[in-house]
Amino acid sequence: SYNPSDFVSQLGLNEFNAWGILKALIDLCLGLDEGKYVIMRDPNKPLIQLYRVPPNSFEDNDSDNDDEKPDPAANA
């Protein structure tokens, strides 16, 4: 975990600008329809893209964890 001041200094920003960017992003998201979204940034471009994804995306399913061994202590 980072202190906000340390984090923005690592990014080469000042703290005031970082909070302004975060506020603009939150305001944008509040204006969207209810749903699930993903924010992505290409590391080589100064561009953030927002994608709407299906509601059941990124949810844990027990069937996806077939390679995990059961915990014997859980059955005791």
- pLDDT tens track for 37-46: 998 988 888 7
Q: Considering the chain, what percentage of its residues have pLDDT values greater than 90?
A: 14
Distance CA 15, CA 8 (A): 6
Judged against a pLDDT cut of 90, whether residue 74 lies above it is answered with no
The contacts of residue 28 (CB under 8 Å, 6+ apart) are 50
Judged against a pLDDT cut of 80, whether residue 24 lies above it is answered with yes
Angle between helices 4-11 and 15-30 (to 10 degrees): 100
pLDDT at 58: 81
pLDDT at 27: 93
